[in-house]
Amino acid sequence: RKEVEQDPGPFNVPEGATVAFNCTYSNSASQSFFWYRQDCRKEPKLLMSVYSSGNEDGRFTAQLNRASQYISLLIRDSKLSDSATYLCVVNRRGGGSNYKLTFGKGTLLTVNP
Amino acid sequence: DAGITQSPRHKVTETGTPVTLRCHQTENHRYMYWYRQDPGHGLRLIHYSYGVKDTDKGEVSDGYSVSRSKTEDFLLTLESATSSQTSVYFCAISADRVVHEQFFGPGTRLTVL
């Protein structure tokens, strides 16, 4: 089982739609969780961290289920500018005192007018 | 945006030639990372640094070496480039070892013919 797995996508949705991305992780020792956004031919940028109690930032809601080792991202009222690849990212302790970020392969979202 | 630059931004080279990519930061962050991103694989860690002259291997370090002689610069060297090293290379930085967030540079597109 891959360390971080995401919906393969791609997702094509109309403007105003609600879209949900799912992600699972295999290492129960994982400590922190993130969603990054990557525009075409650009660098990844942090979209939001994911907290155990769930968290919301405007139209974006992130949820974490540690028991099921599952992370989700919900985007409401999709905008054209939301078109991007969304990366699920998991952080866990690696060797020694270092930590390791593992990136999912990403899910491509296209929002259509 | 975090102050991270990468040079060159694009490079075409031939198999067997040495190549050095440079990452420069103005944030004075302790931790620096080199990733490669390939279709179907997502972002994979090549090497990272947790201080000047302190580096360690990531998951795909074969064929690559790194050096960090100053806080602000992290160099990635391909001693003898191969076609399998054709990729997009991203440098990233973070302020703390728990890695709550990584900031990425704009990337270098390397083609090895």
Cα–Cα distance list, B13 to B16, B17, B83, B110 (Å): 9, 7, 10, 8
Interface touch B43/A87, C-beta < 8 Å: yes
Interface touch B97/A98, C-beta < 8 Å: yes
Three-state SS for A82?
helix
pLDDT at B76: 98
Interface touch A49/B100, C-beta < 8 Å: yes
Compute the nearest-CA separation of A112 from chain B (Å).
24
Compute the nearest-CA separation of B105 from chain A (Å).
6
Summarised one tens digit per residue, pLDDT across range B34-93 is 999 998 888 999 999 989 999 999 889 999 999 999 999 999 999 999 999 999 999 999
Nearest residue in B to A46, CA atom: B101
pLDDT at B102: 87
The residue type found at B53 is: K
Interface touch A105/B40, C-beta < 8 Å: yes
Are the C-beta atoms of B44 and A87 separated by less than 8 Å? no
Cα–Cα distance list, A64 to A1, A26, A74, B48, B100 (Å): 19, 14, 12, 28, 16
A99 touches chain B (CB under 8 A): yes
A98 vs B contacts (CB less than 8 Å): 48, 50, 56, 97
CA–CA dist A36, A88 (Å, integer): 6
pLDDT at A23: 95
pLDDT-wise least confident of A4-8, A72-76, B107-111: A4-8
pLDDT at B98: 63
Interface touch A91/B56, C-beta < 8 Å: no
A31 vs B contacts (CB less than 8 Å): 98
pLDDT at A94: 65
Find which of A75-84, A91-100, B40-49, B91-100 is predicted with most confidence, using mean pLDDT.
A75-84
